[in-house]
Amino acid sequence: MTVEQGSVLPRICGLTQDESELALDAWRGHWVVLYFYPKDNTPGCTREAQAFNEHRADFEALGARIVGVSADSPASHRRFADKYGLQFPLISDQRKEIIQALGVLNDKGTGARRSTLIIDPEGVIRHVFSRVTVDGHVDEVLAKLRELQRSGN
């Protein structure tokens, strides 16, 4: 399966860095920025996470919540989040069930391909960023989120 704009996000549930279960269904009524990244503590993934963290208040002002997903363990996510002061959940998908279900498995089959989804309050995928370039990406996501909210899509 590959995610497509206009489709309803399938049920996503997993353990976060604090080992609590997060089901995105609980966030209905909010915009969600769901981003997939290859690996904790690598240069690109660190810059991307830091950029999302630095702009967290901007997303919150738009009623949006941020969540990251990779195939790393909850313990790896905890070390990553603690090291960089990340203030949003990171879901562990060690079995790559979410990654495969949403069609964002990398070409090597080892983890997620860098991708971001913007999901509306009803759970509909409103925009898909595929094969993301880290630098400037968070600004693109914020701009697209604002555009979607203005247009009512």
List pLDDT tens digits, range 69-126: 999 999 999 999 999 999 999 999 999 999 998 999 999 999 999 999 999 999 999 9
Q: Are 46 and 90 in contact (CB under 8 A)?
A: no
State the pTM of this model: 0.95
Superfamily assignment of 13-151 in CATH? Glutaredoxin (3.40.30.10)
Check pLDDT > 80 for residue 59: yes
Q: What is the CA radius of gyration of the chain?
A: 14
What secondary structure letter does DSSP report for 100?
H
From the list 15, 32, 33, 45, the catalytic residue is 45
Please report, for the chain, the start and end positions of each structural domain, with discontinuous segments joined by +: 13-151
Query: Would residue 13 show up in a list of annotated catalytic residues for this protein?
Result: no
Per-residue model confidence as pLDDT tens digits over 42-55:
999 999 999 999 99
Per-residue model confidence as pLDDT tens digits over 131-142:
899 999 999 999
- Determine the Cα–Cα distance for residues 48 and 135; give it in Å rounded to an integer: 8
Q: How many Å is the maximal CA-CA distance in the chain?
A: 40
The pLDDT, as a whole number, for residue 1 is: 52
The pLDDT, as a whole number, for residue 37 is: 97
